[in-house]
A and B are shown apart, each in its own frame.
Chain A
Amino acid sequence: MSVQAHLRLSAFALLLACGAFAHSQSAGSLDANGQLENPALQARFERITKELRCLVCQNESIADSNVELASDLRRQVREMLIAGRSDDAIFKFMTDRYGEFVRFGPPLSAKTLLIWGAPFIALLLGVFIIYRVARNRSRQPLDE
């Protein structure tokens, strides 16, 4: 069985399981809609969960995903926010376990330098090529 099938099956089973567990999240200081009562914390919660990748579906954030792993991770983020942990501490908790891939915007580091630098490299390359072409053209005799 391919990995895709493994993941798809897992995701399917997770979806099935999700319904059963949807209401089992810890109460903490949540209001009736399942939002954090403190609006500042809720805003941070929304921003952080949008920035974290759901590893089952990979192109969805854990804010958007319905699979159970995503709901477990949302619970984790919520609990850490209530416990007063910083955004950095929460992101570190996630990347320590799931790797940099869990973040949609990887932080600038030696490993991600190429990703962040690629647009600038492309721009410089383009400027260089235009410069060379323009210079060569201007050097050609006019009567050619």
Chain B
Amino acid sequence: MWKFLLPFAAFVALVVLFAFGLNPSRDIHALPSPLIGKPAPEFALTDVLDPSRVVSNATLKGQVYVLNVWGTWCVACRQEHEALLAIAQQHVVPIIGLDYMDEREKAKQWLTQLGNPYNAVAFDTDGRTAIDWGVYGAPETYLVDGKGRVIFKFITPMTAEVWQHEFLPRIAAARREGA
């Protein structure tokens, strides 16, 4: 009996292992963020459009907001821009931009030419804020709840579907839970 059961069990175990391991929709580059459930790292950076102004997430305490990491060098950010503009039109939550490893003039040009979906854009010249948030590419989009905790991280370009299915339900849940 054992002689037949053991290879069969091994076979089933391998099928399960491969079903998880080789699943093409599983993204081997997507890393779980250790920030989930933790307080959002604070930042106070200059506004990309106006260096005399400060953009800080400290002023957003008590509000659910989105932080979107982008840069003019990032092709995928250009790709998600239309979706961000459409999302901004819905006025569901404030969208804060984090302009990462960029040049101010280029960023300004990008926002004037393509439209500005952001309530404010922080200019991260030396990448320190990005390190605090565990950014390792762009675009990356974070969702912060009313208690100031990071509750979701999404990498790769934002789309209407992702917003609909991944963000809106979490925003609603965060609001139900109360600030």
Is B35 a contact partner of A97 (Cβ separation < 8 A)? yes
B156 near A: Cβ within 8 Å? yes
Is A96 a contact partner of B34 (Cβ separation < 8 A)? yes
User: A90 to chain B: closest CB distance in Å?
Assistant: 13
CB nearest neighbor in B for A69:
B136
Q: Which residues of B contact A82 (CB under 8 A)?
A: none
Q: Which residues of B contact A16 (CB under 8 A)?
A: 73
Instruction: Please count how many residues in chain B sit with their CB below 8 Å of the partner chain's CB atoms.
Output: 30
Is A55 a contact partner of B157 (Cβ separation < 8 A)? no
Bound-complex Cα distance A92 to B97 (A): 27
B126 near A: Cβ within 8 Å? yes
Which listed segment binds B: A6-14, A27-35, A43-51, A115-123?
A: A6-14
Instruction: Tell me the dominant secondary structure on chain A's binding face.
Output: helix
Q: Which residues of B contact A1 (CB under 8 A)?
A: 76, 79, 156-157
Q: Which residues of A contact B176 (CB under 8 A)?
A: none
B43 near A: Cβ within 8 Å? no
Is B156 a contact partner of A17 (Cβ separation < 8 A)? no
From B29, B73, B126, give the contact of A4 (CB < 8 A).
B29
Knowing that A1-B156, A72-B126, A76-B131 touch, tell me 10 more A-B residue pairs with CB under 8 angstroms: A9-B74, A9-B76, A13-B71, A69-B130, A72-B128, A98-B34, A98-B134, A99-B32, A99-B33, A101-B31
